[in-house]
Chains A and B, each alone.
Chain A
Amino acid sequence: MIVPLEHILILAGLLFFIGMGGLLAWRANLIMMLVCIEVMLNAVMLVFVAGSARWGNADGQLFAVFIMALTSAEVSLALAMVVYLHRRRKTVDTDMFSEMKG
């Protein structure tokens, strides 16, 4: 470990909460919401890799790789959905897709 684990945890927490704040602020734009979710998942990967380096265990790195595979599946499906919604309404504004509200 080159730096204490606490510093890496603070960095990961900063990134996670920056992503969370961006997700709350950009809730009208589907593309930017997906970008903010990427930032949050990346911070979680950093925590796994830091734990793997701290305890000398390979499982943390493997779970980081699993998160990466999960993210690629999620992004491909979500972007396909964005293309589908854009084909229906010509916009990615989430407020335009509100016909199911009761």
Chain B
Amino acid sequence: MEQAIFYILAAVTVIGTILAITEKHPVHAILFLVTSLFSMAVIFYLLMAPLVAAFEVILYAGAIMVLFLFVIMMLDLGHPEKGMSPGWKEWLPAVLLSGISIGSLALVIVSRHAVSSAPAVMPTIRELAVSLFREHGLAVELISLQLLFALVGALYLGRQK
């Protein structure tokens, strides 16, 4: 049952991402990507990571994609007829390169001997928090500094003359 759900969600994610990449209208592309992110959040939930799944919905689909939509609406970029979408001359090398990369990756993964996975236990939220603030305290400080720099930089770049 869970396997079937995983494969359906994987198909939804890949198809949504392909539609988002090939869509000419930026707003439609963002909405396709939100669909793909929702199914990715359910995949995270199936992989025993409910915290990451919740953050995926709240942060990625809720905040970052809405930020994209705000910028597209504010700058009035939703005009695909202005000729900024790539033609086949741009698509051909990109599709060729990604096809070669995907093929070689699938070859490497399939040729590897599949190891039987042990039934892993799900880390609880308490263990996550202990590991986050006790072992990775420096990383938390660095991330908070980085967010502060991003805030100051965005304020500096967005100020009115």
Footprint of B on A, CB under 8 Å? Answer: 1-11, 13-15, 17-29, 31-32, 34-36, 38-39, 42, 45-46, 49-50, 52-59, 61-62, 64-66, 68-77, 79-84, 86, 92-93
In the bound complex, residues from chain B placing their C-beta under 8 Å from that of A57 are: 123
B53 CB to nearest chain A CB (Å): 9
Total chain B interface residues with beta-carbon distance under 8 A: 82
What are the residues of chain B within 8 A of A10 when measuring CB–CB?
105-106, 109
- Given A4-B114, A79-B67, 5 more contacts at CB 8 Å? A1-B117, A9-B109, A25-B90, A31-B68, A59-B131
B149 to chain A, nearest CB (A): 7
Interface residues in chain B, defined as those with a beta carbon under 8 Å from any beta carbon in chain A: 2-3, 6-7, 10, 13-14, 17-18, 20-21, 26, 29-30, 33, 36-37, 40, 43-44, 46-49, 51-52, 55-56, 59-60, 63-64, 67-68, 71-72, 74-75, 77, 84-86, 90-91, 93-95, 97-98, 101-102, 105-106, 109-110, 112, 114-115, 117-123, 127-128, 131-132, 135-136, 139, 143, 146-147, 149-151, 153-154, 157-158
Known contacts A28-B86, A72-B64, A83-B157; is-contact A18 B147 (Cβ 8 Å): no
Name the residue on B nearest A54 (C-beta): B117
